[in-house]
C-alpha cells in the first residue's frame, strides 16, 4: 500500500473506487492522495477524469448501464465536493462575472461543474444555472447579472443543436456577453460554425480561454 498515490493510471485506488461507484471510500482515498502531496488539480485531472473516461468506455461497450454510470458520477461528485474548497481561492473580490449552464435536454453536469470551479478559482463570480437550461433562461440570467461571459456545456451529440439555439437567442437579444462552449463532442470548428466566441477542451484551458475573452 505504500506509494499508493504515485501511479498515473486509472488503476489507481481512487480511480478504481470512482469506476466502481464506491462513494463511502472516496474521502479516505482523496485524503491519501493529498497526504502524498498531490495537488487538488492533479487529483482531478489524473485520478477523477481518467476514471470517468473508463466509465464512458465501459458504457459504450455495454459492460455497464445507466445505473452504474450514475453511481460512478455520484462517487466523482463526492470527491469534487472535498476538493472544491482547495480549487477555489477564498476571500478575493471577483474581478469578472460569468453565467454557466448545461444546455437544454442535457443532464450532464460534472464537466460543467469543473469549469465553474476553475473559473471561481480564477476570481470569476460564477452564476451556475445547472442543467437542462433553456435558451431563454441563459438570456435572462446574462441580462439580470450584466454578465460579461457565458459558458455553455453539452455532452450529447443530440444536444449540440440546443447549443446553437442558445447562441442564436443570446445574439438576437443583443447581449454583449462573450460566449464560450465546451463538452466532449464540441470542437473549435463547431464553435466557429454556430458563432460562439470561444471553445475550450477541458477545465484547465477553460480558464485561459475565459480570461482572454474577458480581457479582449
Ligand atoms: Co451520459 N453519455 N448519458 N450520463 N455519460 C456520455 C456523454 C456518453 C459519451 C457515454 C458513451 O456512450 N460512451 C454518451 C453520449 C454519446 C453521444 O452523444 N455521442 C452518453 C449517453 C448516451 C447518455 C444517455 C443518453 C444514456 C441513456 O439514458 N441511455 C443519458 C442522457 C441523459 C441526458 O443528458 N438527457 C446519459 C446519462 C448520464 C448519467 C445521468 C447517468 C451520468 C451523468 C451524471 C452527471 O453529470 N451528473 C452520465 C455520465 C456520467 C456519462 C459519462 C460516463 C461521463 C461524463 C463525465 O462526467 N465525464 C460520459 C462518457 C464520457 O464522457 N467518457 C457519458 C467527466 C467530465 C469531467 O468530463 O463532462 O467531458 P466532461 O467535461 C470536460 C470537458 O468536456 C470540458 O471540461 C471538462 C473537464 O475537463 N467541458 C467544458 C465540459 N463542459 C465545458 C464547458 C466549457 C469548456 C469546457 O466552456 C463553457
188 lines ligand 1 (CB under 6 A): no
pLDDT bracket for residue 55 (50, 70, 90): confident
104 lines ligand 1 (CB under 6 A): no
Q: What is the pLDDT of residue 9?
A: 60
**Interval between CA 3 and ligand 1 midpoint (Å):** 31
Q: What Cα–Cα distance (Å) separates residue 9 from each residue in 14, 92, 168, 186? A: 10, 35, 41, 25
Q: Which three cell numbers stand for residue 153?
A: 456545456
69 lines ligand 1 (CB under 6 A): yes
Mean pLDDT for the stretch of residues 145-154: 97
**Domains of the chain from N-terminus onward:** 4-89 (1.10.1240.10), 96-214 (3.40.50.280)
111 lines ligand 1 (CB under 6 A): yes
pTM, two decimal places: 0.84
Amino acid at each position: 500500500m505504500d506509494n499508493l498515490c504515485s501511479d498515473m493510471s486509472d488503476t489507481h485506488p481512487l480511480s478504481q473506487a470512482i469506476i466502481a461507484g464506491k462513494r463511502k471510500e472516496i474521502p479516505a482515498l482523496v485524503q491519501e492522495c493529498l497526504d502524498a502531496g498531490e495537488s487538488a488539480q492533479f487529483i482531478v485531472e489524473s485520478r477523477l477524469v481518467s476514471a470517468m473516461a473508463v466509465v464512458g468506455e465501459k458504457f459504450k461497450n455495454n459492460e455497464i448501464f445507466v445505473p452504474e454510470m450514475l453511481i460512478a458520477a455520484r462517487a466523482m461528485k463526492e470527491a469534487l465536493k472535498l476538493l472544491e474548497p482547495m480549487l477555489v481561492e477564498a476571500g478575493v473580490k471577483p474581478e469578472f462575472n460569468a453565467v454557466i449552464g448545461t444546455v437544454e435536454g442535457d443532464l450532464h453536469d460534472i464537466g460543467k461543474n469543473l469549469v465553474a470551479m476553475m473559473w471561481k478559482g480564477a476570481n470569476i463570480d460564477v452564476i451556475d444555472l445547472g442543467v437542462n437550461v433553456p435558451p431563454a433562461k441563459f438570456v435572462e440570467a446574462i441580462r439580470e447579472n450584466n454578465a460579461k461571459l457565458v459558458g455553455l456545456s453539452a455532452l450529447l451529440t443530440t444536444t449540440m443543436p440546443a447549443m446553437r439555439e442558445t447562441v442564436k437567442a443570446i445574439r438576437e437579444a443583443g447581449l454583449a456577453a462573450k460566449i464560450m462552449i465546451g463538452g466532449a463532442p464540441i470542437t473549435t470548428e463547431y464553435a466557429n460554425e454556430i458563432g460562439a466566441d470561444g471553445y475550450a477542451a477541458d477545465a484547465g484551458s477553460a480558464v485561459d480561454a475565459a480570461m482572454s475573452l474577458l480581457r479582449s
